[in-house]
Amino acid sequence: MQNDRTHTFSANILAKRIGLFALFFITYALIAWLSSFHFSSFLIPFHLHLSSILVRLFEHHLSEFAVGMIAIAIFSRGNLWIYGINALNIRQSMYVLWRFYLMALMIIGVVVVVPLVQGEKIPAYLVGANPSTIIGWIVFEWLATAVADEIFFHGFCQTLLAKYWKDVITINKIEIPFSVIASTALFTVGRSNVLVYGNSGIEYLFAALIGFYTGMVYYKTRSLLTPMLSQAFFYGMPFLVRYLWEMWK
């Protein structure tokens, strides 16, 4: 009898986990469907003449933000703070954040600044871009991607995963929840392949690292504040550096 109960319990858990991934897939498909309506023409003044790539990405992340917030509102029953929409553990968050900024600055210095000094050309999607587009890229990476990605992949996906997938991997006394590993995989796959740092391989490597780091920070602090600020800095600073470099030249 006990074995039958255990078998049934495990089957129920497995069914819930499969259902979660199906939910995430359907939700992301909904985001892609909403993005196809090209509604940004109603929001962006026509005289800005932003690049089509930037506009499509803006539409995608605006849909991602909207769907993520609606999903969180539904599953949290209005208690948004449970899904990371809060300022919990602010002191711990700020301590972690400034240490991340120092590490990120070193990476940006090696991967972005040094090649610029050595004469590397700026990415193709920035060549010939008007000032509005360049500033649009900066605002997009500093604000839109960080907020939308963290709310959807970690606030929504990781929180739900943690409820039904409590397995933990311990490496050198560091606990890594499976929910973080799974949300990292979702973040890496879902991250828009904009060549911020050079090529596709580097982009997906950094996406995996950032996804894992922000997932762990969210797990420890229960707040999306530092994950948002970290991602914004890591992906926004290269655009700002390139813009200032072109202005200085």
Q: What pLDDT, on a 0 to 100 scale, did the predictor assign at position 5? A: 47
User: Is residue 231 over pLDDT 50?
Assistant: yes
Q: What pLDDT, on a 0 to 100 scale, did the predictor assign at position 30? A: 94
The answer to which of 11-20, 92-101, 131-140, 174-183 has the lowest mean pLDDT is: 11-20
Q: Is 175 helix (H, G, I), strand (E, B) or coil?
A: strand
User: Is residue 161 over pLDDT 90?
Assistant: yes
Q: How far apart are CA 144 and CA 100, in angstroms?
A: 20
Which tops the pLDDT comparison, 128 or 166?
Answer: 166
Q: How far apart are CA 177 and CA 215, in angstroms?
A: 10
The label of the residue with tokens 């050079």 reads: 198
Q: What pLDDT, on a 0 to 100 scale, did the predictor assign at position 123? A: 81
Instruction: Assign 124 a pLDDT band (cuts: 50, 70, 90).
Output: confident
User: Is residue 141 over pLDDT 60?
Assistant: yes
**CA gyration radius, the chain:** 20
Q: What pLDDT, on a 0 to 100 scale, did the predictor assign at position 41? A: 64
The answer to whether the CB of 93 falls within 8 A of the CB of 223 is: yes
User: Is residue 45 over pLDDT 70?
Assistant: no
For 6-22, write each residue's pLDDT tens digit: 444 577 877 888 888 89
For 181-212, write each residue's pLDDT tens digit: 999 999 999 886 788 997 888 999 999 999 99
Q: What pLDDT, on a 0 to 100 scale, did the predictor assign at position 43? A: 65
> For the whole model, what pTM was predicted?
0.90
Task: Count the Cβ atoms, other than its own, within 10 Å of residue 150.
Answer: 29
Average pLDDT over residues 64-82: 94
Q: What pLDDT, on a 0 to 100 scale, did the predictor assign at position 23? A: 92
Any idea what DSSP says for residue 169?
A: E
Instruction: Write out the two tokens for 55.
Output: 């506009």
Which tops the pLDDT comparison, 107 or 244?
Answer: 107
User: Is residue 234 over pLDDT 80?
Assistant: yes
Q: What pLDDT, on a 0 to 100 scale, did the predictor assign at position 9? A: 55
Instruction: Assign 46 a pLDDT band (cuts: 50, 70, 90).
Output: low
Q: What pLDDT, on a 0 to 100 scale, did the predictor assign at position 247? A: 79
Domain positions in the chain are: 2-248
Q: How far apart are CA 38 and CA 236, in angstroms?
A: 24
Q: How far apart are CA 148 and CA 152, in angstroms?
A: 6
